[in-house]
A and B are shown apart, each in its own frame.
Chain A
Amino acid sequence: MGATPLFFGDARRQLYGAYDEPAAGTVSHDTAVVLAYPAFPEYNKAHWLFRRLALRIAQEGFFVLRFDYFATGDSAGSSEAGTLDQWVDDVTVAADEARDLSGARDITLVGLRLGATLAARAVDGGLDVRGLVLWDPVVIGDDYMAHLLARARIHRRVRLQQRRRPAETLLGYPFPDELRRAIEEVDLRELKLNRSRRVELISTEDENHLSSLAAALERVGVPTELTRIRLAQTDVGGQENVRISAEPLDAVIEAFLRTETT
């Protein structure tokens, strides 16, 4: 059975989402899951991956909602209108919607790349969750921006455009200065994630500050596990050269299921 699409949230800023329900006859749980997409070119790369992830989690007996942030995908808003704070709020709106639709008491957030960062920020901002699965999160915003800018330099036409309209576009996407500054200020190690009963970190990269993030979480008493995965292949579709791969799916599912046992 395919996912059920819907619009939800404030009608003036409606968000698009799609949810998967446990199949009839399977044991369903009192936790609903919200998947938080990555952004920019990683969003397109991850769309199919998230559909598979949602289906697999639903097969384990969980309600799963994935959604487009404001000003992305099919949600309302022109592409240059997105802000990091808005996207963090959207995670909370999606969590509320998932509870309403499923009747579940608890929420677990599973985020990939910037989506993981947004999920963590939502918890830091007051969203209570059962679990937080952060898959290759953006820990340090400066590093993420450096990565995006390095990718952009590969494309000559973008360099030309950046000379004409500097700091307004990046990797083919509208990229206002405010968004750039907000990303540069990100440091997940400074967040308080005590509202999550457990944090699972999935890492496919060698150096990404996840060890220091895990240590920071442990210091404040948040049960945390870090899983490192070495990818057999690098997914390099086109010029974006981002590491979005289906290889960690099993590990992500296992990490999610561990949040259910806490």
Chain B
Amino acid sequence: MNERIVTFGLRNELVGILTTPESALDLQRPIVLMWNVGVNHRVGPFRFNVDLARHLAAKGFATYRFDKSGLGDSDFRREAVPEAESEALDVTEAMDVVTRRTSAEQFVLVGYCSSVDAAHQVTMVDPRVVGAVHIEGYAYPTPGSRRRARRNLLSWSRWDRAVRRRCVRILRRRKSSSTSDVAGSIYSRRIPTQEQFAADLATLSGELAKPHLFIYSSSLNGAEQFSEMFDHPDIDHSRIVFEHYADADHTFYTVDHREMVIRSVAEWLANAFPRDVHGLGGCQMNDGAGLA
């Protein structure tokens, strides 16, 4: 495994780490992009992005983890970019710099919680994106989830989670300025409606033929909720993989859960984008600008 710093942007103000396997890069396989989860910097919660990147490198996939504009080690862009488009622009330009560096032209985007917004936005419109992973992405209540919630009124774990979430919300209202000044300016979301996302998924899985992996924790009230949420007649389920870790929390707090999620992503990638068995699609890295 090799890791290199690759910067991009007009002033090379955005920072990322390109992780590649020891062997020559297989250009038949997409490069996996990941970036900030919420306002955390690019290593991810509990170093998740780092562990995922290195595990994928061992399985033959290159990755690029980066800080979007203004977060982590990336400086703010100076050029005027509407806030709603900034993160998608960061993702697009990240793909540009990785292509310049590796000649790879296909990407899989990994969205985790808030970063699914830009992952989804770019996957819809950019032909270079050939698939996506949504970890703790969009979730919508359904009649079935509400029925299950009512049945679970006597469930200790349900109340336990609800009380803890309430406590965390109360305590977070008293947050100091260490991150809130960042969060206020760059942490806003545009979440599609359930109907719109289902329609998008139909387009992505059908016409655009882009496989997707969805991973959820206990944020879903039962595994059935996924099919209830995205019950669209045109979704090609052969291109959709859904995994539910019912006893995990939103951040996959335990080491075990994170290891399972990482293995799931690796296995899905290997199935969706198998290795170039003829060895004709390899490339050596370009030593060029934007490296440190």
Residues of A within 8 A of B (CB): 1-7, 14, 16, 18, 44-49, 51, 72-74, 76, 78-79, 155-158, 161, 164-165, 168-169, 172-174, 231-239, 241, 244-247
B17 proximity list for chain A (CB < 8 A): 16, 74
Measured in the bound complex, the distance between the Cα atoms of B178 and A236 in whole Å is 11
B155 interface hit (Cβ, 8 Å): no
Q: How many residues on chain B are close to A (CB under 8 Å)?
A: 43
How many angstroms from the CA of A204 to the CA of B183 in the assembled complex? 24
Proximity string of chain B (200-243) to chain A, C-beta cutoff 8 Å, 1 when within and 0 when not: 00000000000000000000000000000000000000000000
Is the pair A2, B179 in contact by a Cβ cutoff of 8 Å?
A: no
Q: Which among B160, B174, B254 is the interface contact of A169 at CB below 8 angstroms?
A: B254
Cβ-defined contact, A173 with B179, below 8 A: no
How many angstroms between the C-alpha atoms of A38 and B170 in the bound complex? 26
A5 and B5 contacting across the interface, CB-CB below 8 Å: yes
Q: Are B255 and A172 touching (Cβ within 8 A)?
A: yes
Chain A residues near B13 (CB-CB < 8 A): 2
Cβ contact within 8 Å between A235 and B72: no
Known: A2-B74, A18-B73. A235 touches B176 (CB 8 A): yes
Chain B 60-92 residues near chain A, CB threshold 8 A: 72-75
Evaluate contact between A246 and B178: CB separation under 8 angstroms: yes
Count chain B CB atoms within 10 A of each CB in A14, A172, A173, A231 and give the residue with the most: A172
The reply to whether B45 and A44 contact each other, CB–CB distance below 8 Å, is: yes
Minimum CB–CB distance for B54 against chain A, Å: 8
The residues of B with any CB-CB pair to A shorter than 8 Å are 3, 5, 7, 11, 13, 15, 17, 39-43, 45-47, 50-51, 54, 72-75, 160, 164, 168, 171-172, 174-179, 182, 247-249, 251, 253-256, 292
CB distance from A115 to the nearest CB of B (A): 15
The answer to whether A158 and B254 have CB atoms under 8 Å apart is: yes
**Cα-based distance from A231 to B174 in the complex (angstroms):** 12
Known: A2-B75, A16-B5, A172-B253. 14 other contacts (CB 8 A): A4-B292, A6-B5, A7-B3, A16-B17, A45-B179, A73-B43, A73-B47, A165-B256, A169-B254, A169-B255, A231-B176, A233-B174, A234-B176, A241-B171
Contact (Cβ within 8 A) A245 B15: no
Contact, CB under 8 Å: A246 / B176: yes
Those 10 A-B pairs whose CB atoms lie nearest each other, nearest first = A2-B75, A235-B176, A236-B171, A233-B176, A246-B178, A245-B176, A172-B253, A161-B254, A5-B5, A246-B177
- Given A6-B5, A236-B175, A238-B168, A155 contacting B253 (CB threshold 8 A): yes
